[in-house]
Amino acid sequence: MVCAKEREKGVAGSKVDSKASKAEKEALCEARLRDLEERRASAPRALGAMVRSMLGKLRGLELADDMGLPKSLLQKQVLRIGTMCSGTDAPVLVARALEKELRACGSEVSFQHAFSVEFDAAKQEFLKANFPDCPLLFRDCTQMGRKRAFEVLSRQPQPVPGDLDILVAGFSCKDLSFMNSYRKTLQEMGQSGSTLRGVLDYAERYRPRLILLENVWAIAKSNSCGFRQVDLVMEGLKARGYAAGFRLLNSCDYFLPQIRHRIWMWAIRIDAAPDESALSEAARERAELATRQVESKYNDILVALEEPCALHFEDYMLDDDHPIVRAHFQWMKSLQRRSVLKKKRGAKLDWTEKYDSHRTRNDYQYDRPYTAVRDADFLQVLNERERELLDLKCLDVMNEQGKDPRTVPMLWELSQSVERVPGVRVRRDRQNYATCILPGMLWHSSRHRWVLGIEKLALQGIFAEDLRDTNFPQKLLGDLAGNAFTTSVCAANMIAIIACAGAMNGSP
């Protein structure tokens, strides 16, 4: 079986040799664009179809049995799944899709939603509306290592379930992201460190069989001393009796048109009973040995399940005359938004000074190619800062790429400052992909409108047809999308961890 990575190297040349000539690089780029265009019409567009394709890719690997899939994905069992800080409970959507597709393969695996954890009250309402079968919705991740924690549905403390097969958690990334000028380390115990502590406390007390964690790619970047924060997470998991590893993954390598680099961490419990000497050197050595035994298999599965996305982000956009789009425009127009001129805490310059400096440095004079359109409707939903930012980014793209973003569709994250707006320097063979979905304000350059929250969810693989209720403010849906797991990447990791756990222990 030829995996997606091999095909992309051979046919499309996604990774070009740095020593290749400019003409060779251009030819490889053109080949990749043709390959994407040829595959676009038949590319999976729904979560179920993506999972089905992954299961097809899994057949033939050494973990598979005579039926074509690993035994751990076929034998009769009920896997209880709990989530912490996942926002939209994307892992539960993945579990539903995986169960349905496995049933079609003759499997008797089923998933049971044991609990969710979400602190934000508005997001709690989203979870209650879309996952009414979930029996427990806890509020605070940091309490989950206790015997009891406050539960939202009953409005009182409830026993924390311990009989869990799969824990999927996304501890806070606010302190760790490179977008945060005041980021902290996990050891400094900011919000990121305290939520991670809640996950590790739960693992220590209740010992779920399998753990999946996700965070920003900065967690795996070394500091000046060579220390990586992801190593702290790995040590915490191994000290608690788990084989553990991690891998940097990109959403656009798994069916969806979004450039989103995230570190996915996995852990497989070694022993059912906790080791009294869990922090001993012998325990750590056993965890290291188990990790080495399973890590290569886990990574091989993730590579085999890859499918470089052939879709364009336009494929998940609503028509501009759609009632939801028009209603959102009228709502944004009614706000009569104004720019804030106050400097952020610790900032040397306010936005007007930064933007004036950008104009002067690039000799843009007073050019306003994007907003100098008399009586344009879209100007009514923009404040002064955003108008100036759009003009500057339009000039940047025209000068650096020779393209006109007023006619070539691009997605720009306008909640950032002028020097760091994501989406304006995407390489040519990836311009069909959206920039990383964030909780901020995403602008469509050629449609001259904001991207709706429901569209952001779709770019994360969270589709309206898989939800029960999307009748929430678009701002909330966009915030949920920005903090959600990409479902296709979550599916690849869930398949990999169940398969590898079965190979290591006989059953997950």
Reference 126, options 78, 89, 156, 97; nearest CA is 89
Beta bridge partners of 213: 169, 265
Beta bridge partners of 34: none
| Rounded distance between C-alpha atoms, residue 109 and residue 98, angstroms | 9
* 293, 480 contact by CB (below 8 A): no
State which H helix or E strand residue 18 sits in: none
- What Å distances lie between residue 263 and 192, 219, 255, 486, 490, CA to CA? 14, 7, 18, 12, 11
Is 173 among the residues known to form the active site? Answer: yes
Tokens of 385: 């800062």
Reference 449, options 339, 331, 316, 325; nearest CA is 325
Q: Exposed, middle or buried by CB within 10 Å (0-12, 13-18, 19+), for 367?
A: middle
| Cβ within 8 Å of residue 271, ≥6 positions away | 241
Catalytic residue selected from 85, 134, 173, 490: 173
| Rounded distance between C-alpha atoms, residue 500 and residue 299, angstroms | 10
Q: Is 259 left (phi over 0), alpha (psi -120 to 50) or beta?
A: beta
| Rounded distance between C-alpha atoms, residue 250 and residue 256, angstroms | 10
- The number of beta carbons lying within 10 Å of the beta carbon of residue 309 is 27
Enzyme catalytic residues: 173
